[in-house]
Structures are given as structure tokens and as C-alpha cells.
Chains A and B, each alone.
Chain A
Amino acid sequence: MNIKRFFAVFKARNIEFFRDKSSLGWNLFFPVLLLVGFSFIFSGDGRPAYKVGWVEESKSSQSKAQHNSFKDTRFISFIHYKDIDVAKVKLSHHTIDLVIANQSKRYWVNDESAKSYLVEKIFSEKLKSYTRLQIRGGEIRYIDWVLPGILGMNMMFSCLFGVGYVIVRYRKNAVLKRLKATPLTAFEFVSAQLLSRLFIVMFTSIIVYSGCNLLFDFFMLGRYFDLFIIGMLGAFCLISLGLLVASRSKSEELIGGLLNVTSWPMMMLSGVWFSLEGAPPALKVFADFLPLTHLVAGAREVIIEGATLVDISYHVNCLLLMSAVFLSLGAYFFSWNAER
């Protein structure tokens, strides 16, 4: 690794990005427009159904029967939690509307939530034998909830297209071929591209977050440092994925299709717009293999629940593992030109 060569490519790529006004503008204004739009569209609750947290303390047949008796009520979804504290945090943020701990015959309502009040009324007969407990907590606005998703999605597009598309364009018009004819190594080139995009993505995301924070005064329970780290790990993982997707292709049409195939499932299934709680288990398993899921979930836990990096170590480890896999495969398959 020659630092001088690496830094020259890093700098050149940054200059190219910042002088491309249309691309820079898009990266800065697109997420702002989305946030403004969603702040108007979802100024209310934004969730169509009532959600009840069901804390399963035992798996007895009696417990199952009781659960079924609750489940008979239509238009209410039941979300299973193993940890009662997690469910209570969700209730305090109005993410769910009631928590029922079946074994200990207790239930919690949020006194500040209209939905919680209504669900309690709906189940008043069935909850007669349960002890009523209260939780207080203001509602997390939809915009606070959706913020990590929109920032994550913007990062995803910037990482995938900003790296994948650019490398394929370089390969197609023989910029890579010209660089191959110099002493620059593939590792130096790829790592410069990776770190340049990481710098660009973090820079634009911080600008967007700070600017929007002035407008919306975002909720923030955790530490900004933790948010920065999970953001950086997510961006690194998505850039690695972009490098892998672009490792061999020479066709801009093909790479456009591949990047869309890669990004659309993440946009729809990574919890950008709506919570995956209550989604079918198979879908949750699939979403677990998507880097954006861990970026968004980790950032959301830091922002809304005040989680630390240790608390979100599952997401951190998943992102690190995925980055290692994507980078290894990308390096193995990388080709300067069509011939390998």
C-alpha cells in the first residue's frame, strides 16, 4: 500500500464528487425533501392498526388458550416479546399500545396515549383479572422514527450507486484501463474509492442531519458518537456491497439493474418506512441479511431508546461480518477491465 498513490486517488475522487454540483445537490436535498414530505403526510400516528405487546412468560396450554382468546379480536396485532422491559420501552414511545404479561397477570397502559386508552377499553372484559400498571411517555413523532430510515436509505443509494455505478463507468470508458497501466494497485484504487465515498457519505449525512435538526428538532436519547459509529459501519458495509456488485461488470445498463435489485429489497424490507415488528418471521429472517436493516435498526435504537454500542452489538457485529464478506468477494472478483 503506497499512501501517496492512495491519497492521490482519494483526493481526485473527492474533487470529482464535490465539483459535480447536480450529484452533490441531489445527495443533500433528496433526504431533506423526503423528511419534509413525510413530516406533513405522517404528522399523526402513521400506524394504521393497534399493536399489543404480548410477553410470553410460559408456554403452557393455558397460556396459549388465553392468548387465542385475545387474538380473536380483529384489527389488533400481537407482537411477542421475551423481555418485558423492551416491550415497556416500546409502549412508552407509543410504538405499541398495550403490554400484557400473561403469566403474572399484569398489563401496562401508557396514560399519554389515546390508542393505549382505546385498546384498554376494547379488552376491558378480558383484562378484569389482570393488574393494571401505568407507564408515562410522550409519543415519538413519526418523523423522529423515520429519520434513521431516510438517512440510511440516502446513504444506501449514495454508497451503492456512487461506488458501483462510478466504477463501471470508469471501466467502460477505460479510465480503469489507464490506471491499470500505472503502478497503482487494485487494492490502492479500491480502498481509495471506499474511503472517499465513506468520507462523502458521512459528510453529507452530517450536513443533512444538522440542517434538518434545526427545522425539526429531532428526538435524541442516545449519544451522537454512537450514532456516528453505527452510521459509519453501515456506510462501510454498503460501499463494500457496491464494490462487490461492480467488481466485474462493464455495462452501465446491467449495473443499473443489479443495483436496483440490490437496493429495492432494502428500501422496502429494512424498516425504513414501517416497523418490521409484527411482520412474518420469514420476512424478518430475510431482512436480517440486509445491511440497511442493521444500520437503520441500530441508529433507531440509539436515537429512540438511548442504546449504546454495546446494546446494539448484534447490529454492529452483523455489519462488520457482512463488510468482511463483501470486501473479500469484491477483491477476489475485481477486474480492471473485461479480461481477467
Chain B
Amino acid sequence: MSDLRELYQEVILEHSKAPRNYRELATANHRAEGYNPLCGDHFTVYLDLEGDSIRDISFQGSGCAIAKASASMMTQSVKGKTRAEAERLFDQFRNLVTGESPANGNRAELGKLTVFSGVSEFPVRVKCATLAWHTLHAAMQGKQETVSTE
């Protein structure tokens, strides 16, 4: 039971029920869609990029609790950051959920995102946790096609 609670932490459940920045972004100049064919989860990430920095971000779509909470908390974490900072955060987040030791920087930068550390005990759920991040990555690169977790 303990690692189940580790996965479904209160913060995660709360974000999955009331996701932040969950809307279409009128000022968006970048957007991308992400899809997990395994479970049908599907998100759109909207970005308002000003030069190199993320002025605003939002998302919409459907997914499991892990995927939705991850998307919600991601939008909070990267708002106001530069692309390079967001990419670095993605790297650290991926290391966190796959259980790999942080390659660059430390976990301190992840802040609240460390609540997702429990995912590393559930390998099949890594795709859920990273779907929004992959989609953000695609949006920042200006790719138009749907990114897939497969």
C-alpha cells in the first residue's frame, strides 16, 4: 500500500481533480498535441513564447490522474522560464520518474515536482507522467504533428 500512496500523493490527486491552467490560450503562438496510444490519453499544450521565454502556458485534454496532474504542475513550473530552463527541467523530471540518478543539476530545481518520484516504482506509468512534457518539448520546437509516447 505504501508505494501506492507514494504514487497517488495528495498533491497529485488534487491537481488531477482541479488542474491549473486548464484552458485554451488565446494568445498562444505555439501549440502541440500529445497522444499515448496505449491508453488513449490526449493533451494539447498551448504556449505564448516571447523571444526565448515562456510568457504563458496552458493545456487541455484527457488523461489519467498521473498524466493530468503532471500536465497541471508542469504548466506552473515552467511559466516564466526560458526554453533552455524548461528543457533542463524536463531532463530532471524524466530522471526522477524513471528512477535514474540526476545527470545534471540536482532535484532542488524540481521543487514541487518531486511528488512524482513514486512513479519510478511503476514503470508502465512513466509515459503518463511524461506525456505533457513531451508535448511541451514539441510545442517549443514548433512542431505541428502530434507527438506520441510510443
B and A form one assembly: no
Show the binding face of B for A, using Cβ within 8 Å.
none
Q: Could you tell me which A residues sit within 8 Å of B by CB distance?
A: none
